[in-house]
Structure 1
Amino acid sequence: MTYDLSLLGWTESQAAELPHGTIPARVARVDRGAAEVIADDGQHHVKYGARVRRSSAEDPVMLPCVGDWAALRWLDEGRYELDAVLPRRTSFVRGGVGRTSRGGLSADGQGQVLAANVDIVFVAEPSMHATDFADLARIERLVALAWESGATPVVLITKSDLFENGLEDLLADVRVAAPGVDVHAVSSQSGEGVQLLHGYLEGSRTAVVLGPSGAGKSTLVNALAGDGVMETQLVRAGDGRGRHTTVHRELIPLPGGGLIIDTPGIRRVGLFGMTDGVDMVFADIDALAGACRFADCGHDGEPGCAVLAAVEGGELPERRLTSWRKLQREAAWMASRTDARLRKEQQNKWKIIHKEMRRSGRNRP
């Protein structure tokens, strides 16, 4: 089977990025040290070449991920090898999370790319849970990361057919949590809102669906694809929590045009490399801050603070200010962790260089 790569998002301007002697392919799925890719001559299972292994060992963000455009090189042994990852237009990166010696979680200053070259980020939140403070905060977090990625976020309140009363109030609360972002109620079962989503995927645009387990992401992908392409399970009875039905990220071309990436349920999403994402999510706070007495107001008890005045007057929900403070602190902390890691790596490089210089001096005749 052959493919027209332009329908997968390939443009002639990207051809200049291809290493000599390679062909382009889009990564549809990744495994340890290998990937499923789509090239113009069909689908291939390819292993990573030495250059990819070296670059990803230095920085995990350089690992191939779903949505990447890759360069394939034909080997004499009769197979393709993934020789390089081409520059990404956009990338959805979450902060790396590692285990501490006591079994807890800690940020390691490194990132993990969940999807690349994405135009739209569908943030899926099930209607049965989205009234909780924590879930509105999760929407704010995912939307911040979506803005930071370079893609456009769209919030989907899923399983709207199960929400009996107050759906419009719920949508209004979500719009406050994601100002300037399109918010839609969708139901894969009844079909509500599904056709509308196709409008975001015209031509060769790519979307990724992100959200917690039980949000109905795979069911939504099936509804968009018009076929049971992703395996799904029912939400567990009793606690309303979803099982992890999707265990990998996968790029799926849609029959009506466009592509979509399904993802496993996300339990924790740390901020990474954040510059403007948090400010864009909290544009309402940023606008209010312009009226504060002090330009560097931290909105934490300073006199003449317009943000605190808006909270007291009911113009700004206190929950929004609490969430803003939390994400600002986390973004600053992650930035410090990343800077510390980069400084350590640079120190190690110089130690190696100096060691080699001393060794060369000792061996000089």
Structure 2
Amino acid sequence: MFNDLSLLGWHDGLAEQLPDLPDGAVPARVARVDRGAAEVIAADGTHQARFGARVRRAAAADPLALPCVGDWVALTRLSEGRYELAEVLPRRTAFVRGGVSRDSRGGLSGDGQGQVLAANVDVVFVAEPSMHATDFADLGRIERLVALAWESGARPVVLVTKADLFDQGLDDLLADVAAAAPGVDVHPVCSLTGDGVDLVRAHLGPSGTAVVLGPSGAGKSTLVNALAGAEVMETQQVRAADGRGRHTTVHRQLIPLPGGGLVIDTPGIRRVGLYEMSEGVDLVFSDIEELAGSCRFSDCRHREEPGCAVLAAVESGELPERRLESWNRLQREAAWMARRTDARLRAEETRKWKTIHKQMRGMSRP
């Protein structure tokens, strides 16, 4: 029972939106989404609610409007006793991934549409294992997830998990991770021993919401269990043969924590496409943006131009070449996604006007 909805993140700004909703609607928060329905938490407990007609129409018109974990919704009770999810309230933040994948030739492919992984999140915990077999932390993946976190409106925090497995050089690893995510807090964590868990919990406060993102085997579910102080999520060991993680969590789920705060556990992700980037990439690569201010040409692309301060920093060793390559890759992908999104919106607008003109022609016929 959550008699005090503020423990779930409810506030007065959300309450002001309820008068415009159906009579008898009460606020609830989405804890889990299944096909056409959701598990929601209201003041009187947890309920299963089918998507109402208004919600289904909105999702059909825009996939991003589909209810997702973390959403605040208006819940109504039907005459037969079932519950209906009548409306999704406006989101304060939204972590959106683009529909991007690699085709058989290694190029980018996708439909330009995105998917909301979590909504109304205050903190994005980017979980990267300190050791995957013989591979150390994937700095490129950290940069990508941190860029998406900044773009979502939430605050990113990088967690170097399984820190107990890294016998030597942990400080150097943490320094490399911090350089890949300027201005972002970086914490080593060992969920099994509890080292660093209190630092993670401190980012949540009494009613903050966090989502944990990272690859399979990063220890996300183990961390959630450590935060909850109980076995709320199933865990599995990393495969010894190749060091790869197993997909233990198969759905996203919102979990209230004892003492306050909420956390969203997510399935492991291998690659997340960018979606409608505006400042996320620039914030992750603020060091490159600062260097670019000293380039001879204001439109310098940092490739072969004379007087390029960024290339000079790479040559001197001040800027790792890997980081410039990562910046170029994310810039290209963000531009590609913007073009795909613009093309999709233009196509949708064209289809809409074709339908309107067809209807008008039909009305003008005798």
TM-score greater than 0.5 by the shorter chain: yes
Cα separation, 1, equivalents of 2:122 and 2:292: 31
Deviation at 1:90, TM superposition (A): 0.4
1:252-295 Cα offsets, whole Å, 9 max, x none, are 00002100000000122000010000000000000001111111
Matched, 1:10 2:13: no
What amino acid maps onto 1:219 in structure 2?
T
The match for 1:280 is 283
Query: Residue 214 of structure 1 aligns to a residue in which SS?
Result: coil
AA matched with 1:343: R
Deviations 1:33-54 (A, max 9, x none): 0000001111110000111111
Q: Determine the C-alpha separation between the residues in 2 that align with 1:58 and 1:130.
A: 44
Q: What is the CA–CA distance in structure 2 between the aligned matches of 1:326 and 1:231, rounded to whole Å?
A: 35
Query: Whole-Å Cα distance in 1 between the matches of residues 243 and 157 of structure 2?
Result: 24
| Matches of 1:199 and 1:222, distance apart in 2 | 16
The one-letter amino acid of 2:255's match is I
Residue of structure 2 equivalent to 1:268: 271
Amino acid in structure 2 at the alignment position of 1:261:
I
Q: What letter corresponds to residue 140 of structure 1 in structure 2?
A: E
**Between Structure 1 and Structure 2, how many residues are aligned?**
363
- Asked if 1 retains the 8 angstrom alpha-carbon contact of 2:100 and 2:274, the reply is no
1:195 to 186, 194, 198: 198
With 199-208 and 75-84 compared, the bigger mean Cα shift is at 75-84
Contact conserved, 1:123 with 1:211, CA < 8 A, in 2?
A: yes
The SS at the match of 1:201 is: coil
The runs of 5 or more residues in structure 1 that have no matched partner are none
Preserved CA contact (<8 Å) 1:156 1:185:
yes
Q: Name the counterpart of 2:357.
A: 354
Q: Distance in 2 between matches of 1:236 and 1:20?
A: 51
Q: For the Cα contact (< 8 Å) 2:216–2:245, is it kept in 1?
A: yes
1:220-235 residue pairs with structure 2 within 5 A?
220-235=223-238
1: distance between equivalents of 2:356 and 2:135? 54
User: Could you give the per-residue CA deviations for residues 98-128 of structure 1, whole angstroms, max 9, x where no partner exists?
Assistant: 7979999722110000000000000000000
- The residue type equivalent to 1:81 in the other structure is E
CA shift in 2, pair 1:324/1:103, >3 Å: closer
Residue matched to 1:68: 71
C-alpha displacement of 1:12: 1.5
How far off is 1:214 after superposition?
Answer: 0.4
Q: Closer, same or farther in 2 for the Cα pair 1:80/1:110, shift >3 Å?
A: same
Whether 1:327 and 2:326 are equivalent positions in the alignment is: no
Q: Which residue of 242, 245, 253 maps to 2:245?
A: 242
Equivalent positions of 1:111-122 (< 5 A) are 111-122=114-125
Could you tell me which amino acid in structure 2 is paired with residue 12 of structure 1?
A: D
In the alignment, the residues of structure 2 paired with residue 324 and residue 196 of structure 1 have an alpha-carbon distance, to the nearest angstrom, of 30
Quick one: which of 167, 172, 181 aligns to 2:170? 167
Would you say the 8 A contact 2:133–2:242 is kept in 1?
A: no
SS at match of 2:16: helix
Greater CA deviation, 195-204 or 214-223? Answer: 195-204
Report if aligned partners of 1:131, 1:170 keep a CA contact under 8 Å in 2: no
4+ runs of 1 displaced by more than 4 Å? 97-105, 130-134
Which of 253, 259, 262 is the aligned partner of 2:262? 259
Which residue pairs with 1:126 in the alignment?
A: 129
Q: CA deviation at 1:134?
A: 8.2
Using the TM superposition, give the Cα deviation of residue 238 of structure 1 relative to its aligned residue in structure 2, in angstroms: 1.4
Does structure 2 conserve the Cα–Cα contact (< 8 Å) formed by 1:67 and 1:117?
A: yes
- The separation in 2 between residues aligned to 1:16 and 1:94, in whole angstroms, is 29
Could you tell which deviates more after superposition, 296-305 or 132-141? 132-141
* Cα distance in 1, alignment partners of residues 77 and 102 from structure 2: 39
Instruction: Report how far residue 15 of structure 1 moved.
Output: 1.3
C-alpha distance in structure 2 between counterparts of 1:316 and 1:198, whole Å = 33
Higher alpha-carbon deviation: 75-84 or 257-266: 75-84
Q: Cα gap change, 1:130/1:144 in structure 2, threshold over 3 Å: closer, same or farther?
A: farther
Shift of 1:77: 2.2
Equivalent in the alignment of 2:216: 213
Tell me if the contact between 1:129 and 1:135 (Cα under 8 Å) persists in the aligned partners. no
- Residues 265, 92 of structure 1: alpha-carbon distance in 2 compared, 3 angstrom cutoff: same
**Unaligned 5+ runs, structure 2:** none
**Identity, % of aligned positions:** 75
Distance 1:281 1:98 in 2: 22
The range that moved more, 2-11 or 199-208, is 2-11
TM-score (norm 2): 0.96
| Aligned amino acid, residue 50 of structure 1 | A
CA contact (8 A) 1:133 1:319 kept: no
Structure 1 residues 159 and 301, CA gap change in structure 2 (3 angstroms)? same
Distance in 1 of aligned mates of 2:355 and 2:46: 42
